[in-house]
Copies of this chain bind each other. A is one copy, B any other.
Amino acid sequence: MIRFDKARTHVEIPASFAVLTSRNDGMLQENAMVRRNEIREGEVAVTPPPPTDAGLTFIGRIHTPWTDRTMTPRQGRHDGPECRIEIFEPWVAALKGLEKFSQVEVLYWLDQSRRDLVLQSPASNRELHGTFSLRSPVRPNPIGTSVAKLVRVEGNMVTVQGLDCLDGTPLIDLKPDRCQFTPIAPKQPGDDEIAS
């Protein structure tokens, strides 16, 4: 157990929001736990509103070699292990044409992440970073995005390289990489607008 001075962890947050720093009354669990869901020294949590503004449907499941959060890559690499994205019905027909692209954007739901931190200390060194300046899985809506290298599409299974998520992670979207995609729909007036 690591004990630290709670006075050092104060950060200004609007008074109307509950601030929960350093759960367990100033005690942090050992480091391996910190890397799962414990709060690190100085980190700031808020009481978020209930996540009821919109609902997601899981459209598939991602199969990767990583079964523990302390093993996953921080960032995927295109020469990394092959991962398989399984698409559930009724969405399999929506894969038509995906094989034409060599890079696909993958959106997934980081279902094991807490959602209430606004300031985080990824290096566990008291240096605090705003959640929106990090690509940490801990965020108000824990959605991961990766641009993966497409290896093949077979039936309901899409094989890629470049993911960094846990085995079993729910899939929420799949689209061509923006750099490889040219809109098929006719142009609209906004396409020609530039800053005045």
Contact = CB atoms under 8 A, between A and B. Distances in A.
B170 A54 contact: yes
Interface residues of A, number: 96
Interface in A72-130: 72-75, 77, 79-82, 87, 89-98, 100-101, 105, 107, 109, 111, 115, 117-119, 122-123, 128-130
Contacts of A184: 122-123, 129, 134
A92 B50 CA distance: 17
* Secondary structure class of chain A's binding surface, majority of residues: loop
Quickly give the copy total for this chain. 2
A183 interface: yes
Contacts of A147: 178
A169 to B, nearest CB: 12
Most central of A11, A12, A53 by chain B CB within 10 Å: A53
A4 interface: no
A189 B196 CA distance: 49
A141 interface: yes
8 contacts: A54-B172, A59-B141, A71-B190, A77-B194, A107-B141, A122-B184, A141-B172, A145-B145
